[in-house]
Amino acid sequence: MTFVWVLIVLAAGAVGLVVATYNRLIGLKNQIDYARGAIDALLKKRFDLIPNLVETVKAYAKHERETLERVTELRSRVGRAQSDDERFRLEGELSGLLGRLLVQLEAYPQLKANENFLELQASLNEIEEQLAASRRAYNAAVVQFNNAVEMFPSNMVASWMGLKPRPVFQAEEAARTAPDVGRMFGS
């Protein structure tokens, strides 16, 4: 009789452990999805700001036509991207290009007097900061998730659930440092 009770207690413990691990893995997966959603929302915001920026700048900065065209082209390629990975890669390139463009615009003091440009500059800078925070949150969530998926005993539940390690977000070389345009313009 005692043996049966021991078996029941052990089975109940095992079921409890599986349920707790299952819930934890779902929680970690949701954290990744949440951070990914935030990145998407911010990229969409930036995507919508680019036509405004190009329109505002092209009247003042005629010598930057080539860069502006490249920004416009990259933006449309982002819109046509076939996969998330390709889209994130192109967004990274766009980040770097926008940073460089804003640095080059330093040579146009009349732009600094344009209220619309200043607002765009502030918005883009803020979006870059929020993007950087969201990517860090995403990567932190992915590291926790991957640890849970690969470590014993949670890896057994993860494999039963069909969960696989996720790749962390790798910034493009050009996008690794978000442009601090406010400081460059001395605002």
Partner 1 sequence: MDARTYARLRPRIAALTRERRAAWAMLAAVWAGLLLAGGGLGLYLLRLGGRPVHLLASLAAAGALAGWLTPTLLYPFKERFKRELVKPLLEGSLEAVAYAPLGSVSVLDLEGSLLFKTVPPDEVTGEDLVVARRGEVGIRFSELRAGGGLRRKPRLGGERLVYEAPVFQGLFFVADFNKPSPGIVVAYPERWFLARPQIELERVRMEDPRFERLFKVFASDRIFAFYALSPAFMETLAAFARGAGPVAFSIVYGKLYLALAGGKNRLEPPLLGTLYSPRLYQGFLGEVELFLKLVDDLRLNRRIWGQMS
Site for partner 1, rule CB under 8 A: 31, 34-35, 38, 45, 118-119, 121-123, 125-127, 129-130, 132-134, 136-137, 139-141, 143-144, 180, 182-183, 187
CB of 162 to partner 1, least distance (A): 25
CB of 152 to partner 1, least distance (A): 21
CB of 34 to partner 1, least distance (A): 7
Q: Which residue number, 36 or 67, has a Cβ lying nearer to partner 1?
A: 36
CB of 52 to partner 1, least distance (A): 13
C-alpha 51/C-alpha 103 separation (Å) is 18
One-character DSSP codes across the chain? -HHHHHHHHHHHHHHHHHHHHHHHHHHHHHHHHHHHHHHHHHHHHHHHHHHHHHHHHHTT-GGGHHHHHHHHHHHHHHHH-SSHHHHHHHHHHHHHHHHHHHHHGGG-HHHHT-HHHHHHHHHHHHHHHHHHHHHHHHHHHHHHHHHHHHSTTHHHHHHHHT--PPPPP---GGGSS---HHHHTT-
C-alpha 110/C-alpha 18 separation (Å) is 64
CB of 140 to partner 1, least distance (A): 4
